[in-house]
Amino acid sequence: MAGRPRNPQLDGDILDAARHLIRTAGSAGCTIGTVASYAGVPRSTVYSRWPSRHALIDAAIAPLFTNPVPDTGDERADLRSWLDADDALISGPFGIAAATLLATSREPDGPMLADLATAIQQRRRDVGRRFGGQDEGAQVKIRAVYDAMWGRCVTTGPDHGDGPRASSMPEELMRLILDA
Amino acid sequence: MAGRPRNPQLDGDILDAARHLIRTAGSAGCTIGTVASYAGVPRSTVYSRWPSRHALIDAAIAPLFTNPVPDTGDERADLRSWLDADDALISGPFGIAAATLLATSREPDGPMLADLATAIQQRRRDVGRRFGGQDEGAQVKIRAVYDAMWGRCVTTGPDHGDGPRASSMPEELMRLILDA
């Protein structure tokens, strides 16, 4: 924040602009310049808050991956809601941007991520505990399902000759968890 | 190839140089310029064969993901060999470079991949058939395990606060497949 007094409204407007650009133009289309232009602020206003486009994308998308896991008392319905919601998020533009940023961060000299990697690790642990309870084997399965959603995000897709995919993934995963 | 007569030895030397740079400096460290320099050829020699660094990385790493799945007659031993080998590959520098390239290719206006996406889709189908046989449920599980390896490649790692990971992954996955 470079010692600058926070203006939460302005911060929010900049992050909204970043999310709009990621959704419509991908993470490559989300730069300090395009975000400043879309938010109608000088580039220096963005730079004073986030020192790089990686930091800006990190801050813009990490909160999307921390939405609460449902708890209605109906375990199976909650699991289905979570699978549907997280699979839609992970296989959509924000998931693809997140996968690009996460993979890039693991390369030598890749950018350090302040929020996204932690948010996704936390999510992985939370869903394991929420749906696996005290059963360590069930936790392993739930975490593997969560990992598989991310894996499909990078390995599968219409552009990889696999046809439409969103329709079949949660069903396959439900079977993996529930029929085992 | 721009109509140029092929020189397989030279092609191989350039791809070896690309793999060396990916292994030591990550995909960001593998550019037309660094590869030309390391291979001791003019940049134009590299450009005449692969028009971009994405195309070069694609050609260099795709073959690594097509090594044969073992078939010794011992199903469980073969499965363990495959899990260990593919998990080591996917969680290592070539897997991380592949995940970065694959995720980037799924972004709007991302690079088209000639080889890598196809190789990984093919691998996914092959291991499903090899270890799942005619049992569609088993194929689903095997494919989910393969997806989970890729998911862990992007979501988990020492730099994501999760500690060393290579040791526990195949064991977790073996349990997922064999104990279900």
CA of A108 vs chain B CAs: smallest distance (Å): 5
Superfamily name with CATH number, domain B8-51: Homeodomain-like (1.10.10.60)
Q: Which of residues 78-107 of B touch A (CB under 8 A)?
A: 93, 96-97, 99-100, 102-107
Query: Cβ separation of B100 and A108 shorter than 8 Å?
Result: no
**C-alpha B136: how far from chain center:** 25
Measured between CB atoms, which of A29, A105, A118 is closest to B161? A118
Task: Give the whole-angstrom CA distance, residue B1 versus residue A160.
Answer: 24
What ranges do the domains of chain B cover? Answer: 8-51, 62-178
Q: What is the pLDDT of residues B62-109, one digit of tens each?
A: 999 998 888 999 988 898 889 889 999 999 999 999 999 999 999 999
Segment A79-92, tens digit of pLDDT? 888 888 999 999 99
Question: What percentage of chain B reaches a pLDDT higher than 70?
Answer: 87
C-alpha span between B16 and A121 (Å, rounded): 35
CATH of domain B62-178: 1.10.357.10
Q: Exposed e or buried b for every residue in B2-26, given b needs 16+ CB within 10 A?
A: eeeeeeeeeeebbbebbbbbbbebb
Q: Which of B151, B159, B172 sits opposite A148 (nearest CB)?
A: B151
Q: How many CA atoms lie within 13 A of A115 on its CB side?
A: 15
pTM attached to this predicted model: 0.89
**ipTM for this model:** 0.89
Decide if B96 and A103 are in contact by the 8 Å CB cutoff: yes
Cα B90–A80–B170 angle (5° rounding)? 25
The lowest-confidence range among A159-168, B43-52, B82-91 is A159-168
Q: Do the Cβ atoms of B148 and A147 come within 8 Å? A: yes
Give the separation between CA B45 and CA B40, rounded to whole angstroms. 10
